[in-house]
């Protein structure tokens, strides 16, 4: 039995004050949920990470993730943020290979594999994003595209290191467009990814890995997508900026 995970990707949004207000409201709403069974991960922009990690909780209400990291350990890389810096702030997760980074920042599979390496060396969990473009789905190449992304970004890891990884399937045509994959489309891809993992690492690892869905996931469609057997939760963009919507998604995940 895999616990669901709901991760919020704030992307490049919010001023510091707005971020503070969002955290306060999230905390109020999450605290009201006595028995939330899903794991919550919040991924703010770098300057706001400490705002989220600087809390002492009686019960851990959420974990914190970054949205990106350097492929290097340290040194003369102006403007970059290393996994060890993130780790020193108690950040345990990091999104890697989001389609926006692949597209606007030309991140290649080889670079992403290096980022994954630096993260697992620092005992952090990559949230590794994969997903096809609309034209790739329309030409029925979606499974092949995602297979390559998974293999090239992750399959160099040994089983122990791979055990730290989360995968997020985010069809590019569904991100920020209001067009979600149908529950069947999500299930098909998630089962396909789990099967790739099974062939490479065996049953135990495949049954354990969490595969999240992302792409216009919101309070109105979360239950339908998350109730698919191979969907272990979601990576939420737009809807993670509204505390009420995000917590509603967490509650839905927790009830499945
Ligand atoms: P969206 O973004 O929920 O706004 O579509 C998801 C993501 O890019 O992680």
Please report the sign of the dihedral spanned by the C-alpha atoms of residue 20, residue 22, residue 23, residue 24: positive
Alpha carbon separation from 238 to 7, 46, 60, 114, 241 (Å, rounded): 12, 18, 24, 28, 6
Query: Catalytic annotation on 98?
Result: yes
Q: Exactly one of 100, 107, 132, 170 is catalytic; which is it?
A: 170
User: pLDDT digits over 202-239, tens only?
Assistant: 999 999 999 999 999 999 999 999 999 999 999 999 99
> Which residue ranges make up each domain of the chain?
5-11+39-242
**Burial degree of 186 (CB within 10 A; 0-12, 13-18, 19+):** buried
End-to-end, the C-alpha distance of the chain in Å comes to: 11
The answer to whether the predicted template modeling score (pTM) of the entire model surpasses 0.75 is yes
Using pLDDT thresholds of 50, 70 and 90, give the confidence band for residue 1.
confident
User: pLDDT digits over 93-138, tens only?
Assistant: 999 999 999 999 999 999 999 999 999 999 999 999 999 999 999 9
Using pLDDT thresholds of 50, 70 and 90, give the confidence band for residue 178.
confident
Query: Catalytic annotation on 156?
Result: no
User: pLDDT digits over 61-72, tens only?
Assistant: 899 999 999 999
Helix, strand, coil % in the chain, rounded to nearest 5:
45, 15, 40
Q: Whose CA is nearest to atom 6 of ligand 1?
A: 237
User: pLDDT digits over 43-84, tens only?
Assistant: 999 999 999 998 776 667 899 999 999 999 999 999 999 999
CB 154 within 8 A of CB 165: yes
5-11+39-242 is classed CATH 3.40.50.9100: no
CA atoms of 129 and 146, how far apart (whole Å):
10
Q: Whose CA is nearest to atom 1 of ligand 1?
A: 237
Ligand 1 neighbourhood includes 252 CB (under 6 angstroms) = no
Ligand 1 neighbourhood includes 107 CB (under 6 angstroms) = no
Ligand 1 neighbourhood includes 175 CB (under 6 angstroms) = yes
């Amino acid at each position: 039995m895999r616990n669901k995970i709901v991760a919020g990707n704030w992307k490049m949004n919010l001023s510091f004050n707005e971020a503070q207000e969002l955290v306060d409201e999230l905390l109020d709403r999450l605290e009201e949920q006595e028995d939330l069974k899903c794991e919550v991960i919040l991924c703010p922009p770098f300057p706001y990470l400490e705002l989220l990690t600087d809390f002492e909780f009686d019960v851990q209400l959420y974990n914190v993730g970054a949205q990106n990291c350097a492929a290097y350990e340290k040194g003369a890389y102006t403007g970059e943020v290393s996994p060890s810096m993130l780790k020193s702030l108690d950040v345990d997760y990091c999104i890697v290979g989001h389609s926006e980074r692949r597209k606007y920042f030309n991140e290649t599979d080889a670079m992403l594999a290096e980022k994954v390496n630096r993260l697992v060396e620092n005992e952090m969990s990559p949230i590794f994003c994969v997903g096809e473009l609309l034209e790739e789905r329309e030409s029925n190449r979606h499974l092949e595209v995602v297979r390559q992304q998974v293999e090239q970004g992750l399959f160099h890891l040994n089983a122990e290191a791979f055990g730290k990884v989360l995968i997020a399937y985010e069809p590019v045509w569904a991100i920020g467009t209001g067009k979600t994959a149908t529950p069947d489309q999500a299930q098909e891809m998630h089962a396909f990814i789990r099967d790739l993992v099974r062939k490479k690492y065996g049953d135990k690892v495949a049954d354990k890995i969490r595969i999240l869905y992302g792409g216009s996931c919101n309070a109105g469609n979360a239950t339908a997508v998350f109730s698919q057997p191979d969907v272990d939760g979601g990576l939420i963009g737009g809807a993670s900026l509204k505390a009420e919507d995000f917590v509603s998604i967490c509650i839905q995940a927790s009830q499945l």
